[in-house]
Chains A and B, each alone.
Chain A
Amino acid sequence: MGKDISMRALKRTRALPGGGKFSWYKLGNTLTPYLFLLIPLILYLIWVIGPMLYTFYLSLTRWDGMTPPVFYSANPLRNYQRLFRDPVFAISLRNNLRWMISFITIPVVMGLALAMALNRSLPGAKFIKASFYSPMVLSLVVCGLIWSWMYHPARGLINEVLRFLTNNPNLTIGWLSDSQLVMWAIIAVAVWRQVGYVMVLYLAGLQGIDPGLIDATKVDGANGWQTFRHVIFPLLGPVTVIVVVISIIDSLRAFDLVSVMTRGGPYNSSSVLANYMYIQAFNNYRMGYSSAIAVVLFLISLVFIFIYLWHILQDELEY
């Protein structure tokens, strides 16, 4: 509202010199925001929005990366027809789904629990918080390498600990070579890195809750769980929406860990869409096909991008 008034005031002061007639001054005034936007927006259109649209075209072509893409004029949807018969695509899709479900459950619950536990003055709270979000500072490549070593069948920390706990010196679990385990082993790394992030977001959300409100519910005789269930959690609703959407998008972005730890193996059992896309493009030189995978990935993410935009739009309307 305040902005409206000031904008009108601005127009009034600016309109004075030229009166009602055309003036360079007024023209300059309307152009100003566009001048500010000019360079960033051009860069953004060239490198982000343009390529996004171009992916759709590329997905209808045969393209080896060396010669120009050739449009499948007889049957433009050829890449898609192949895609939906491709078992590795199905595996990748399923793995992305597993990743997504793990991401919207484990880190969200853990992050919220940690935020609740740490949102008070505990001894060493600062250090405890820092420990949980420290993995976020590491690149996924570094996380992947460190965990690959921890998963090492003979000498990795995890099997060494299990050997000690089970008292079985011959235990050798192939965390990254067993096709049943591998995907979960990689998702565990991603979860390890994600928990701190969710915790930080919930901690920020908790800062925004009026402590008086919580005191009031306590006075009314609500116990800790009731306060959480009926007061705190509903108040954290907007944060939860953001957390869930970000987690879903992050799960669709899954690439680095898979690429570093297994490259999708063994036998594609840990393949995810982004990694399959990369392999099709740069190992098999089927870049048109790869673009079709990109389009599918884009369409899935679009749903969640719209949820996010809608959420933001609601905030905007409050202005």
Chain B
Amino acid sequence: MSTKQFFRSPWRVLGFIVLVILMLMWLVPFFSALMTAVRTNEDIMRRGFWALPNEITLENFRVAWDRGNLKRYIPNSFIITIPALVGTLFLSSLSAYALARFRFKGNRFILFLYVGGMMLPFQVLMMPVFRLTDALGLYNTHLGIILFHTAFQLGFCTFLLRNYMRTVPNEILEAARIDGCSEFRIWWQIMMPLTVPALAALATLEFTWIFNDYLWAIVLLQDDNLKPVTAGLATLQGQYVMDWTVIVAGALIATVPTVILFIFLQRYFIEGLTLGATK
């Protein structure tokens, strides 16, 4: 149906208007944050939200970045997210290959362990994981939180990759086997290249999840200099209690990496979400 045909019915025009209004309402928080971050706190507090700002300033962003220490928190987020992401994708592609392509004792059970774990409200693991990192001497280190993220995300990634790998036609792998190719070579040289679309979708999604994690950052890290940006923002909030313009500016800075990712890899992000839930 063309656009012109579609709008021939007045009900559809009305429906479309309602949809657009709803969409605008959905964007209001972004609008509110942007409007706030470029003004001075004094201006907004004295003259109100709707008053035309006396001046447009980027000072809040500077304060949040510099004194608010986001210059430290943002790199920390990457230091935690990138290795955890690479680790979990690599390891889950191994376990997914085993679960997708071999029939062996415990296959189904192991799959269910992964799927069950992926659905777990992870807060349940808070105390034991805290104790474990402490016992391993990994409390308050990046390595500890990287290991935990790597391990916890294995559930979702394995499940998703396994389902994807099952859709690869067997003949391709079979041909390689008959040629005497070792299983590890088949996995690396044949399966992995075929799994790239799923890996891309998964990487986008997992990056966002790990980057946005808050709970484990506050449970496993104590030192302010090690904190990722989510935990850092909570510190910032405590520091600038009344200074909403700085807090909101900091929050906006924190969204930049995931928003950039989303803009460029939106398709993969959505694919990942739907793959995970509906297969």
Residues of A in contact with B (beta carbons under 8 Å apart): 2-3, 6-7, 9-10, 13, 30, 32-34, 36-37, 39-41, 43-44, 46-52, 54-55, 58, 63, 65, 69, 114, 117-118, 120-123, 128, 130-135, 137-143, 145-147, 149-150, 152, 154-157, 160, 164, 192, 195, 197, 200-201, 203-205, 208, 238-239, 242-243, 245-246, 249, 252-253, 255-256, 259-260, 273-274, 277-278, 281-282, 287, 290-291, 294-295, 297-298, 301, 304-305, 308-309, 312, 315-316, 319
Chain A min CB distance to B264 (Å): 12
Q: Which 4 A-B pairs have the closest CB atoms?
A: A139-B212, A51-B128, A47-B151, A36-B98
With known contacts A50-B128, A305-B119, A149–B247 Cβ distance under 8 A: yes
Question: Taking each of A32, A114, A146, A304, which has the highest tally of chain B beta carbons within 10 Å of its own beta carbon?
Answer: A146
Contacts of A13 in B (CB 8 A): 177-178
Contacts of B126 in A (CB 8 A): 277-278, 281, 290, 294
Contacts of B233 in A (CB 8 A): 141-142, 145, 260
Within 8 A of A (CB), among B30-86: 30, 32-33, 36, 44-45, 48-50
Closest B residue, CB atoms, query A14: B177
Q: Is the CB of B23 within 8 A of A37?
A: no
Residue contacts A-B, CB under 8 angstroms, 27 given: A3-B170, A36-B187, A43-B147, A43-B150, A44-B151, A44-B155, A47-B151, A51-B132, A55-B127, A58-B128, A65-B130, A120-B1, A133-B270, A134-B26, A134-B262, A139-B230, A150-B29, A252-B121, A253-B123, A256-B215, A259-B218, A277-B126, A297-B124, A298-B120, A309-B112, A315-B279, A319-B166
With known contacts A47-B129, A123-B3, A149-B247, A253–B49 Cβ distance under 8 A: no
Q: Is the CB of B6 within 8 A of A122?
A: yes
Q: Is the CB of B237 within 8 A of A145?
A: yes
Chain B min CB distance to A86 (Å): 17
Chain A min CB distance to B163 (Å): 9
Chain A min CB distance to B210 (Å): 11
Contacts of A150 in B (CB 8 A): 28-29, 32
State in angstroms the CA–CA spacing of A290 and B213 once bound together: 21
Contacts of B200 in A (CB 8 A): none
Contact pick for B124, options A138, A142, A197, A301, CB 8 Å: A301
State in angstroms the CA–CA spacing of A208 and B275 once bound together: 13
With known contacts A7-B103, A149-B36, A137–B183 Cβ distance under 8 A: no
Contacts of B92 in A (CB 8 A): 40
Residues of B in contact with A (beta carbons under 8 Å apart): 1, 3, 6, 15-16, 19-20, 23, 26-30, 32-33, 36, 44-45, 48-50, 91-92, 94-95, 97-99, 101-104, 107-108, 110, 112-117, 119-132, 147-148, 150-152, 154-155, 158, 166, 170, 174, 177-178, 183, 187, 208, 211-215, 218-219, 230, 233-234, 237, 244, 247-248, 250-251, 254-255, 258-259, 261-262, 266, 269-270, 273-274, 277-279
Chain B interface helix/strand/loop/mixed: helix
Contacts of B23 in A (CB 8 A): 128, 131-132
Q: Is the CB of A255 within 8 A of B128?
A: no
Question: Taking each of B45, B49, B208, which has the highest tally of chain A beta carbons within 10 Å of its own beta carbon?
Answer: B49
Chain B min CB distance to A176 (Å): 13
Q: Is the CB of B117 within 8 A of A48?
A: yes
Q: Is the CB of B127 within 8 A of A33?
A: no
Q: Is the CB of B29 within 8 A of A44?
A: no
Q: Is the CB of A160 within 8 A of B50?
A: yes
Q: Is the CB of B121 within 8 A of A37?
A: no
Q: Is the CB of B121 within 8 A of A301?
A: yes
Closest A residue, CB atoms, query B212: A139
Question: Taking each of A122, A133, A164, A315, which has the highest tally of chain B beta carbons within 10 Å of its own beta carbon?
Answer: A122
Closest A residue, CB atoms, query B47: A155
Contact pick for B127, options A49, A139, A291, A319, CB 8 Å: A291
Contacts of A278 in B (CB 8 A): 123, 126, 215, 218-219
Q: Is the CB of B174 within 8 A of A51?
A: no
Contacts of B36 in A (CB 8 A): 149
Q: Is the CB of A157 within 8 A of B119?
A: no
State in angstroms the CA–CA spacing of A40 and B178 once bound together: 28
New contact pairs (20) apart from A146-B29, A195-B26, A200-B273, CB-CB < 8 Å:
A7-B103, A33-B101, A36-B98, A44-B155, A48-B117, A48-B151, A51-B128, A52-B120, A55-B124, A65-B130, A117-B15, A121-B6, A137-B269, A149-B244, A160-B50, A259-B218, A278-B126, A294-B125, A298-B121, A301-B119
Contacts of B115 in A (CB 8 A): 308-309, 312
With known contacts A10-B174, A51-B125, A55-B128, A197–B258 Cβ distance under 8 A: no
Closest A residue, CB atoms, query B250: A145
Contacts of A128 in B (CB 8 A): 19-20, 23
With known contacts A139-B212, A141-B234, A149-B248, A36–B97 Cβ distance under 8 A: yes
Q: Is the CB of A6 within 8 A of B170?
A: yes
State in angstroms the CA–CA spacing of A149 and B243 once bound together: 10
Question: Taking each of A30, A120, A128, which has the highest tally of chain B beta carbons within 10 Å of its own beta carbon?
Answer: A128
Contacts of A118 in B (CB 8 A): 19
State in angstroms the CA–CA spacing of A117 and B259 once bound together: 26
Contact pick for B95, options A36, A192, A287, A309, CB 8 Å: A36
Contact pick for A41, options B95, B129, B208, B261, CB 8 Å: B95
Contacts of B274 in A (CB 8 A): 200-201, 203-204
Q: Is the CB of A157 within 8 A of B49?
A: yes
State in angstroms the CA–CA spacing of A122 and B3 once bound together: 7
